[in-house]
Structure 1
Amino acid sequence: MKIYISGIHTDAGKTHCSAALCANFGFDYFKLIQAGEPTDSDFIRKLCPKTRIFKEGMLLKTPASPHLGRKKENLNYKAFDIALPKSEHLLIESAGGLFTPLDDEKTVIDYMARFKHPTFLVAKYYLGSINHILLSIEALKQRNIEILALVMMGEKDLLQDEFIQNYTKVKIVNLPFFTAQNLFAQSKIFKEEVEKILT
Structure 2
Amino acid sequence: MKQQKQHIIVAGISTEIGKTVVSAVLVEALQADYWKPVQSGSLEDSDTRTVQQLITNPVSRFHPEAYRLTQPLSPHAAAAIDGVVVSLDQITLPDTDNHLIIELAGGLMVPLNNHDLNIDLVQRWNLPVVLVSRNYLGSINHTLLSVEACRNRQIPVLGIIFNGPATPASEEFILNYTGLPCLGRIGQEETLTKDIISQYAKQFIGLADAVGA
Question: Could you tell me the TM-score, scaled by structure 2's length?
Answer: 0.87
User: Does residue 84 of structure 2 align to residue 75 of structure 1?
Assistant: yes
Residue identity matched to 1:11: E
* 1:47 match: 54
* 1:105 match: 115
Residue identity matched to 1:113: Q
User: Does residue 201 of structure 2 align to residue 191 of structure 1?
Assistant: no
Residue identity matched to 1:119: V
Superposition deviation, residue 17 in structure 1: 0.6
Cα shift readout 1:53-80 (whole Å, capped 9, x = no counterpart): 0001211111101101111111134133
Residue identity matched to 1:14: K
Superposition deviation, residue 165 in structure 1: 1.1
CA distance in 2, matches of 1:127, 1:76: 34
* Structure 1 residue ranges (4+ consecutive) displaced by more than 4 angstroms after TM superposition: none
**Cα gap change, 1:53 to 1:99, in 2 (>3 Å):** same
Sequence identity percentage: 33
**Cα gap change, 1:84 to 1:36, in 2 (>3 Å):** same
Give yes or no for contact 1:2–1:118 (8 Å, CA) kept in 2. yes
Give yes or no for contact 1:79–1:103 (8 Å, CA) kept in 2. no
**Cα gap change, 1:159 to 1:186, in 2 (>3 Å):** same
Residue identity matched to 2:54: L
Give yes or no for contact 2:26–2:201 (8 Å, CA) kept in 1. no
Residue identity matched to 1:39: S
By relative contact order (CA 8 Å, sep 6+), the higher-ranking structure is 2
In structure 2, the residue corresponding to 1:46 is in which secondary structure?
A: helix
Superposition deviation, residue 187 in structure 1: 4.1
| Stretches of structure 1 lacking an aligned partner (at least 5 in a row) | none
Give yes or no for contact 1:99–1:108 (8 Å, CA) kept in 2. yes
CA distance in 2, matches of 1:192, 1:125: 25
User: Does residue 157 of structure 2 align to residue 157 of structure 1?
Assistant: no
* 1:175 match: 186
In structure 2, the residue corresponding to 1:131 is in which secondary structure?
A: helix
CA distance in 1, matches of 2:208, 2:94: 24
CA distance in 2, matches of 1:117, 1:166: 24
Cα shift readout 1:75-99 (whole Å, capped 9, x = no counterpart): 1341332111012411111010111
Cα shift readout 1:85-136 (whole Å, capped 9, x = no counterpart): 0124111110101111111210000111111100101111111100000000
Superposition deviation, residue 149 in structure 1: 0.8
CA distance in 2, matches of 1:67, 1:169: 33
State the aligned residue count: 198
Question: Could you tell me the TM-score, scaled by structure 1's length?
Answer: 0.92
Give yes or no for contact 2:66–2:90 (8 Å, CA) kept in 1. no
